[in-house]
Structure 1
């Protein structure tokens, strides 16, 4: 058994981590850090775990845990690690965007590895510090990796994606209130979303001559969780060529699957899966990619990375059923 610590324990991603770790055969939760909730029962905030644990939130940090999950707002992981020193044996998995880009990956002597298993599983297995990918970035990259790996991008890429309300976190804002979000739909950060940096970084890593532009339109949906991505670009091959390319790339992936049928979001909500659909329209390839933004897009992928880094079965704690009905 390894001991896990969670920093920023009151948010959605921490709540999912707690749920997953409580059902993980190889881990025990050592502490869940939250200054605003210190002394309260975890289930007072994360009400889905009533009856599963009597653990309290704490304002104390054990610097000798085996694995530390940072579930902090963007920019706050750097500050936290500046203020706390952990054992050299502690593996750190950060769920913010602080260490995802090459320019930011080395911090205080720690070299953070980009934690997208479908991109670099073998590297993650040797990592002590892992930067968990963003939710939009995960769904979009999984839609594009096989094309980049085969040097197929010759023209710009157009992406439209919608995410559920949990993608905005627990803090209330004008666009997260029920009365605004319900029966509503909107775009935000058009062509400027912060996940574009890691998406472009990965495409350049796989395709040396990649110089196309990624046009990304993010949208807010009126549902709680999930991400639905459609991406299209030019492709000279046939539909059979495209499907063969995708199925070959993901043949050893534990959680990413290529479907021969049209995909939809209910297939993946509450799971760590990504399901991909491939279509051909004229000279264009259309890729559909669906994930749960809190699991494959955040906490589930963090557990997947932990499993790889500690040599556990990659699917341990992540054999989840979709809320299909």
Structure 2
């Protein structure tokens, strides 16, 4: 059994990490760090943990844990690691965007590997430090990775993707407040979303050249969790050739599933899965991609990375059923 610690324990991603770790056969939860909740039971904040654990939040850290998950706000992981030291044997998985880009991957002698297992599985297995991908970035990349690997992303790529309210984090804001969000739909950060950088770097590394422009319109949906992306770009082959391309690329990816049926978010919410379907219209390939933003887009992917690092089955602790009904 390995020991895990969580820093920033009051947020949605931390709540899902706690749930996953508590049901993982190879890991024990050593501590959940939260200065604002120290002494409170975990279920006082994460109500779905009632009856599962009597553990409490703490304001002290065990520097010798085997794996540390950083669930801090973007920009805060850097400051935390500057102010806190851990054993050289401690593996760190950061869920913020602090270390995802190539320019930020080396931090004070720590080399962070971009933790998208479907692309970098062998590198992750040997890594000590992981930059867990963003939720939009994960969903969109899954829709495009096979095309990049086949050197077929030379044209502009049009992306429209909608995320649930949990994507905004646990702290209330004007656009996550229920009366505003309910029965509402809105666009934010068109063409400038912060996940574009990591998407572009991954695709260009696979393609071996610059891709077409990523034209990304992110939306806020009036549901709690999940991301649904619609992506289209020019594709010279047939639909059957596209399906074969995707099936071959993901043949060893246990959580990515190509289907002929229409994709919907209820297939993937509460799971670590990504569901993909393809449509050919004229010379355009339309790709639908759906994930749970808190699991495959955050905490589930972090556990998947942990499994790879410690030599466990990649799917350990992640065989979850969707909440379709």
Could you tell me the TM-score, scaled by structure 2's length?
Answer: 0.99
Cα deviation digits, residues 209-229 of structure 1 (max 9, x gap):
224100000000000000000
Which residue does the alignment assign to 2:281?
A: 281
Which residue does the alignment assign to 2:138?
A: 138
Q: Secondary structure at the match of 1:103?
A: helix
Which residue does the alignment assign to 2:123?
A: 123
Q: Counterparts in 2 of 1:1-325, with a 5 A limit?
A: 1-325=1-325
Q: Secondary structure at the match of 1:232?
A: strand
Cα distance in structure 1, aligned partners of 2:250 and 2:134: 20
Cα distance in structure 2, aligned partners of 1:59 and 1:33: 5
Query: What's the RMSD between the two structures over aligned residues?
Result: 0.5
Cα distance in structure 2, aligned partners of 1:8 and 1:211: 36
Cα distance in structure 2, aligned partners of 1:157 and 1:168: 25
- Are the equivalent residues in 1 in contact too, given 2:203–2:211 (CA < 8 A)? no
Could you tell me the TM-score, scaled by structure 1's length?
Answer: 0.99
Cα deviation digits, residues 83-131 of structure 1 (max 9, x gap):
0010000000000000000000000110000000011111101111000
What is the aligned length?
325
Structure 1 unpaired stretches of 5+: none
Cα distance in structure 2, aligned partners of 1:164 and 1:37: 26
Q: Secondary structure at the match of 2:103?
A: coil
Cα distance in structure 2, aligned partners of 1:28 and 1:153: 43
Cα distance in structure 2, aligned partners of 1:105 and 1:171: 28
Structure 2 unpaired stretches of 5+: none
Cα distance in structure 1, aligned partners of 2:143 and 2:106: 28
Cα distance in structure 1, aligned partners of 2:104 and 2:244: 36
Q: Secondary structure at the match of 1:179?
A: helix
Cα distance in structure 2, aligned partners of 1:98 and 1:278: 33
- Superposition deviation, residue 153 in structure 1: 1.2
Cα distance in structure 1, aligned partners of 2:267 and 2:230: 16
Q: Secondary structure at the match of 1:127?
A: coil
Cα deviation digits, residues 171-229 of structure 1 (max 9, x gap):
11110000000000000000000000000000110012224100000000000000000
Cα distance in structure 2, aligned partners of 1:179 and 1:244: 45
Cα distance in structure 2, aligned partners of 1:120 and 1:257: 18
- Superposition deviation, residue 318 in structure 1: 0.4
Q: Secondary structure at the match of 1:112?
A: strand
